Amino acid sequence: MPAPYEVYAIRYARHADRTARQNFIGDDAHDGPSPLDFFVWLARGEAGTFLVDTGFDDAMAARRGRDLLTPVAEGLAALGVDAGAVKDVIITHMHYDHAGNHALFPAARYHLQDDEMAYATGRWMTHAALRQAYTADDVAEMVRKVFADRVVFHAGDAELAPGLSLHLIGGHTQGMQVVRIWTRRGWLVLASDAAHLYANMDEGRPFPIVHDVAAMLEGHRTLKRLASHDDLVIPGHDPLVLERFRPPDPALAGLTARLDADPVGGGRRA
């Protein structure tokens, strides 16, 4: 096996006043607070440093009514990573909270699924319900990167380096991909929005922003199949991530958690 990677979740924003009705299909009976956190993720190993998603900036936070807690560049700097030096960015999908900060990574090439570019630039975007989480500028900036030879397209599953691979899931968006990473605890899966919250996948209650509900539900199973343990599937927006995994340094609590280390309370999840 390849040398294990270090993997971090970096929280940059929050949507506090959100309720379960907005996060689960068919949850009308038990509506209550269900805040979302916003993350980017970092995998660091012998093959290099891989950034998973790029987050949004303060202008987008204001436009969408989200709270920017720590700009993405600062969060990366806290882990000793210079955004300007990042060479590989994986875009799980192009929703506004995953594909912004366009100028922050001038040295990076962007890994994207064929299906995601087709989805975000084609017929489906004529439906307001399907384009609500996309921003035209994010998509246009990615098209510009295509013309600048800075996008690497993938059609389905692909290994980027030994112990780090992409997996096409679909569901949430047509080209939604997840990242499988070899760690000292086994195979870890960064689900991004293939599962927003632990409860979406553990209870079979899908998130309402969705292109294909059936693919999303099947995707939940795929996530668990790709991971060595269920607690190595990391959802995309769950505030519990920063409670279940510890910061690499106490000074970084609330900003980042080391996902390849043992979770709080050992290897099990309540």
Binding site for Zn ion (CB under 5 A): 97, 193
Buried b / exposed e along 138-170 (16+ C-beta atoms within 10 A): bbebbeebeeeebbeebeeebebbebbbbbbbb
Q: How far is the CB of 148 from Zn ion (least distance, A)?
A: 25
Q: How far is the CB of 220 from Zn ion (least distance, A)?
A: 16
**Shortest distance in whole angstroms from residue 39 CB to Zn ion:** 9
Q: Which is nearer to Zn ion, 47 or 240 (CB)?
A: 240
Nearer to Zn ion, 88 or 97 (CB): 97
Task: For the CB of residue 259, give the shortest distance to Zn ion in the complex, in Å.
Answer: 17
Q: Which is nearer to Zn ion, 37 or 97 (CB)?
A: 97
Nearer to Zn ion among residue 88 and residue 193 (C-beta): 193
The distance of closest approach from Cβ of residue 192 to Zn ion in the complex, given in angstroms and rounded to an integer, is 7
Cβ-proximal residues to 70 (8 Å cutoff; 6+ apart), any chain? 10, 11, 12, 78, 255
Q: Would you give the distance in Å from CA 91 to the centre of its chain?
A: 8
Q: Which residue has the tokens 């922050």?
A: 104
Alpha-carbon gap, residue 24 to 174, rounded angstroms: 19
- Of 45 and 206, nearer to Zn ion (C-beta) is 206
Sequence-separated (6 or more) residues with CB below 8 Å from residue 51: 40, 41, 42, 76, 81, 86, 88, 89, 90, 105, 108
